[in-house]
Structure 1
């Protein structure tokens, strides 16, 4: 069971990397007001959602304690991120404030995962 959990943690990190990498890739365009949500950001957010749900299920099945409040906060942030990226994915330009919000929420999600024990 531990190997399976570690595989899904790795996939979860790949999803985070895709979302945050897409944000960093567009930062120069964001300063010019021409940023857009690239498809990799949407795929990364979906990957985070699916692997996160699987991780919660695997940890509960393994008998490990799960902090439901932490998971709920992370899920709420991810739903907002996913909603913003999904709705604005086809637009050629996204406002810098909206794009920055997605980056900030992604960073907040990472810090919650690492620091909230």
Structure 2
């Protein structure tokens, strides 16, 4: 079971990298007001959602403790991220505030995962 959990943790990290990488590569464009949500950002967020749900299920099936409040906060942030990226994915440019919110929420999600014990 540990190998399976580690596999999905790796896939979860790849999803985070895709979403955060898409944000970071467009920070200059965000400053110019020409940033947009790319397909990699949407797919990264969806990967995070699917692998996160699977990880919670696998950890509960393995009788490992799961902090439901932490998972709920991370899920709420991810739903905001997914909502913004999905709704605005076809727009030529995205408002700086919406684009910045996605980056901030993604980084908050990372720090919650790492620091909240």
Q: Answer yes or no: same fold by TM over 0.5.
A: yes
Q: How far, CA to CA, are the matches of 1:72 and 1:97 in structure 2?
A: 24
For residues 25 and 94 of structure 1, the distance between their equivalents in structure 2, rounded to whole angstroms, comes to 15
Residue 113, structure 1, aligned to residue 106, structure 2: no
SS at match of 1:92: coil
Per the TM alignment, residue 85 of structure 1 is displaced from its structure 2 partner at its CA by 0.1
* 1:80 corresponds to: 80
Alignment of 1:1-117 (within 5 A): 1-117=1-117
**Superposition deviation, residue 88 in structure 1:** 0.1
What are the ranges of 5 or more consecutive residues in structure 2 without an aligned counterpart?
Answer: none
Q: Which 4+ residue blocks in structure 1 deviate beyond 6 angstroms?
A: none
State the Cα RMSD in Å: 0.3
| Displacement of 1:93 | 0.4
- CA distance in structure 1 between the partners assigned to 2:73 and 2:91 by the alignment: 28
Q: Which runs of 5+ in 1 are unaligned?
A: none
TM-score w.r.t. the length of structure 2 is 0.99
**For residues 39 and 52 of structure 1, what CA distance do their matches in structure 2 show?**
20
1:24-73 residue CA offsets vs partner (Å, 9 max, x unmatched): 11111001000000000000000000000000000000000000000000
What TM-score do the two structures reach when normalised by structure 1? 0.99
In structure 1, distance between residues paired with 2:70 and 2:63: 17
> What is the rounded CA distance, in whole Å, between the counterparts of 1:56 and 1:98 in structure 2?
29
